[in-house]
Amino acid sequence: MKNTKIFITKAFSIGFLLLLAFSQVFSQTKTITGKITDSKDGSPIVGATVQPKGTKNGTSTGADGSFSLTVGANVTTLVVTSVGFDRKEINVADASAISLVASNSNLNEVVIIGYGGVRKKDVTGAVASIQAKNFNKGTVASPDQLLQSKIAGVLVTVNSGEPGAGTTVQVRGTSSLRANNNPLYVIDGVPLDGRNAEPGNSNGDGATPSSNPLLFINPNDIQSIDVLKDASSAAIYGSRAANGVIAITLKKGSAGPTKIDLNTSFGRFAGYMKRFDVLKRSEFINALTKYGGASSLNYGGNVDALKDIASSSWSSAYNMALSGGNESGKYRASFYANNTEGFVKGTGLQKYIGTFNGTERLLDKKLTLDFNMIAGSVPHNFGYVFNTTGSAGNLISSALQWNPTQSYRDASGNFIFPTNGTPNPLALIDGIHDKATTTTILGNISGAYKILPNLEYKMLYAINHSEGNRNVNYEGWLQGFNAISGKGLAAIANARLNSQTFTHTLNYMVDLTKKLHLNALLGYEYWKSDYSIDAQSANTFNTNLTQATRIPILYTSIFQDAKVQNPHQSYADPTTELQSYFARGIFNWDDKYLVTATVRRDGSSKFGSNNRYGTFPSFAALWRTSNEDFMKDNRLFTNLAVRGSWGITGSQEFPAGSSLEQFAFSAYNTAGQVNVLNPDLKWEQTKSTNFGLDFGILKGRVYGSFDYYHKNTTNLLYQGSAIQPAPATSVWLNLPANLINKGYEIAVGATVIQNKDFGVDMSFNWAHNDNKLTNFNQAAILSGQVNGQGVSGSFSELITNNQPLLAYYLKPFQGFDQTGNQKIGDNPQFGGDPNPHNMYGATVTVRYKKFEFVANGGGASGYMVYNNTATSVTNIAGIIQGRNIDKNAYNSAEKASSGVAASNRFLEKGNFFKLRNATITYNAGNIGKFVKNSSIYVTGSNLFVITKFSGFDPEVNIDKSNGGYPSKSIEYIPYPTARTIVIGINLSLF
Cβ proximity to another protein: between 198 and 602 the closer is: 602
- Angstrom distances, CA of residue 980 to CA of 267, 851, 954, 983: 7, 21, 18, 10
State in angstroms the smallest separation of the CB of 429 from another protein: 19
Stretch that binds another protein, among 86-94, 339-347, 575-583, 640-648 (CB under 8 A): 575-583
* Backbone φ/ψ region at 729: left (φ over 0), alpha (ψ -120 to 50), beta: alpha
76 part of the interface to another protein, by CB under 8 A: no
Q: Return the ∠ at Cα 191 (arms to 659 and 142), rounded to 5°.
A: 110
CA distance 45 to 82: 8
Mark 943-962 with x for binding to another protein (rule: CB under 8 A) and - for no binding.
Answer: --------------------
What letters, b where the CB count within 10 A reaches 16 and e where it falls short, cover 932-944?
bbbbebbbbbbbe
Beta-strand relationship, 167-171 and 154-158? antiparallel
413 part of the interface to another protein, by CB under 8 A: no
Residues 121-160 that bind another protein (CB under 8 A): none
Cβ proximity to another protein: between 564 and 753 the closer is: 564
- Angstrom distances, CA of residue 617 to CA of 191, 583, 601, 645: 20, 10, 8, 11
Stretch that binds another protein, among 401-409, 672-680, 950-958, 970-978 (CB under 8 A): 672-680
Residues 552-571 that bind another protein (CB under 8 A): 563-564, 566, 570-571
User: How many chain residues are in contact with another protein, going by CB under 8 A?
Assistant: 109
Cβ proximity to another protein: between 552 and 793 the closer is: 793
CA distance 6 to 1: 9
Stretch that binds another protein, among 94-102, 374-382, 714-722, 848-856 (CB under 8 A): 714-722
CA distance 173 to 240: 16
334 Cβ contact partners less than 8 Å away, ≥ 6 residues apart = 218, 220, 221, 251, 261, 319, 320, 321, 322, 353, 354, 355, 356
- Angstrom distances, CA of residue 279 to CA of 406, 815, 890: 14, 22, 8
Cβ proximity to another protein: between 35 and 450 the closer is: 450
Stretch that binds another protein, among 130-138, 466-474, 693-701, 890-898 (CB under 8 A): 890-898
**Among 776, 752, 755, 779, CA closest to 763:** 752
Stretch that binds another protein, among 148-156, 433-441, 693-701, 787-795 (CB under 8 A): 787-795
Per CB under 8 A, the list member of 84, 447, 486, 862 interacting with another protein is: 486
Cβ proximity to another protein: between 275 and 487 the closer is: 487
State in angstroms the smallest separation of the CB of 881 from another protein: 5
Under a CB-based contact definition with an 8 Å cutoff, are residues 251 and 222 in contact? yes
Per CB under 8 A, the list member of 54, 72, 292, 825 interacting with another protein is: 292
State in angstroms the smallest separation of the CB of 956 from another protein: 23
CA distance 621 to 988: 43
Mark 244-283 with x for binding to another protein (rule: CB under 8 A) and - for no binding.
Answer: ----------------------------------------
Element (H, E) at 666: strand 662-666
Stretch that binds another protein, among 236-244, 282-290, 512-520, 873-881 (CB under 8 A): 873-881
Cβ proximity to another protein: between 674 and 846 the closer is: 674
Per CB under 8 A, the list member of 31, 74, 296, 827 interacting with another protein is: 296
Per CB under 8 A, the list member of 101, 516, 631, 726 interacting with another protein is: 726
Burial degree of 603 (CB within 10 A; 0-12, 13-18, 19+): middle
State in angstroms the smallest separation of the CB of 804 from another protein: 21
**Among 472, 268, 118, CA closest to 941:** 268
Residues 895-924 that bind another protein (CB under 8 A): 895-902
Mark 630-669 with x for binding to another protein (rule: CB under 8 A) and - for no binding.
Answer: --------------------------xx-xxxxxxxxxxx
Fill in the DSSP letter of residue 403. Answer: -
Per CB under 8 A, the list member of 96, 282, 729, 801 interacting with another protein is: 729
CA distance 392 to 8: 42
Per CB under 8 A, the list member of 880, 920, 924, 983 interacting with another protein is: 880
Residues 747-786 that bind another protein (CB under 8 A): 778-779
Cβ proximity to another protein: between 603 and 812 the closer is: 603
CA distance 337 to 97: 41
State in angstroms the smallest separation of the CB of 77 from another protein: 36
CA distance 449 to 245: 27
State in angstroms the smallest separation of the CB of 285 from another protein: 17
State in angstroms the smallest separation of the CB of 605 from another protein: 4
Under a CB-based contact definition with an 8 Å cutoff, are residues 976 and 953 in contact? yes
Beta-strand relationship, 184-187 and 245-250? parallel
State in angstroms the smallest separation of the CB of 91 from another protein: 40
Residues 589-628 that bind another protein (CB under 8 A): 603-606, 612
Under a CB-based contact definition with an 8 Å cutoff, are residues 728 and 699 in contact? no
Fill in the DSSP letter of residue 93. Answer: G
Under a CB-based contact definition with an 8 Å cutoff, are residues 85 and 91 in contact? no
Residues 210-239 that bind another protein (CB under 8 A): none
Fill in the DSSP letter of residue 183. Answer: P
**Among 967, 945, 963, CA closest to 161:** 945
The identity of residue 80, as a single letter, is V
Mark 535-554 with x for binding to another protein (rule: CB under 8 A) and - for no binding.
Answer: ----xx--------------
Per CB under 8 A, the list member of 74, 724, 818, 827 interacting with another protein is: 724
Cβ proximity to another protein: between 595 and 674 the closer is: 674
793 part of the interface to another protein, by CB under 8 A: yes
Cβ proximity to another protein: between 457 and 593 the closer is: 457
β partners of residue 190:
187
* Backbone φ/ψ region at 571: left (φ over 0), alpha (ψ -120 to 50), beta: beta
92 part of the interface to another protein, by CB under 8 A: no
Beta-strand relationship, 738-754 and 730-735? unpaired
* Backbone φ/ψ region at 806: left (φ over 0), alpha (ψ -120 to 50), beta: left
Residues 344-403 that bind another protein (CB under 8 A): 391-392
User: How many residues comprise the chain?
Assistant: 990
State in angstroms the smallest separation of the CB of 604 from another protein: 7
Per CB under 8 A, the list member of 86, 277, 304, 573 interacting with another protein is: 573
789 part of the interface to another protein, by CB under 8 A: yes
Residues 825-864 that bind another protein (CB under 8 A): 826
Stretch that binds another protein, among 239-247, 438-446, 519-527, 638-646 (CB under 8 A): 519-527
Residues 43-72 that bind another protein (CB under 8 A): none
Stretch that binds another protein, among 15-23, 875-883, 909-917, 982-990 (CB under 8 A): 875-883
Cβ proximity to another protein: between 29 and 829 the closer is: 829
CA distance 543 to 553: 9
Per CB under 8 A, the list member of 92, 270, 375, 677 interacting with another protein is: 677
Per CB under 8 A, the list member of 47, 574, 585, 655 interacting with another protein is: 574
Cβ proximity to another protein: between 140 and 873 the closer is: 873
Rg (CA), the chain: 30
Burial degree of 289 (CB within 10 A; 0-12, 13-18, 19+): exposed
